[in-house]
Amino acid sequence: MSPRVLITILVGSLLTGPLCASDEKVFLDRIQTVTLDSKALGSDPFGEVRATYSYSPISKTRPLLDVSVECNGRKMAVPPQRLSKHPELMLETARISSEAGDNGESWLYLSFQILGEKEKRYYIAFNGGQFSKTFVRP
């Protein structure tokens, strides 16, 4: 084998080797956590509230797959079947809020702005230490 052929093979394998040998794996961010210390707002009974939600990073509409809210050391999960038919959401608009309830227990909400609907939000409601319902409110 001539030296030219040997040099060509070495240089060619050095240039194409890294292209073929890469085994990089890409892990997409798909879990978000929103935390609010409601004590800073005044007389809110919930204290620190932490909402965690996961979504499909490869879907165009990024549907919610799992939602849980933790407050006062208690974790409340939303059944996945209750999340299956929500509208398209802007997940970066997550907001935690609360209001007084009729039964003496306050309602806790995790809400998201609906894509393309500037005034409407999708609410996930908790009452009495457990998931209660989902709804859309202007």
Both tokens of 43, joined, read: 């007389």
> Taking a C-beta distance cutoff of 8 angstroms, is the pair 32, 52 a contact?
yes
Which residue blocks in the chain are alpha helix, DSSP H?
3-21
pLDDT digits (tens, 9 = 90+) for 46-87: 778 888 988 877 766 678 889 999 988 889 999 989 988 889
Q: Which amino acid is at 128?
A: G
pLDDT digits (tens, 9 = 90+) for 103-136: 778 899 999 999 999 899 999 999 988 999 999 9
Closest of 72, 76, 28 to residue 52, by C-alpha: 76
Number of H helices, E strands in the chain: 1, 8
What's the gap between Cα 22 and its chain centre?
Answer: 30
pTM of structure: 0.72
Domains of the chain, by residue range, sit at 31-137
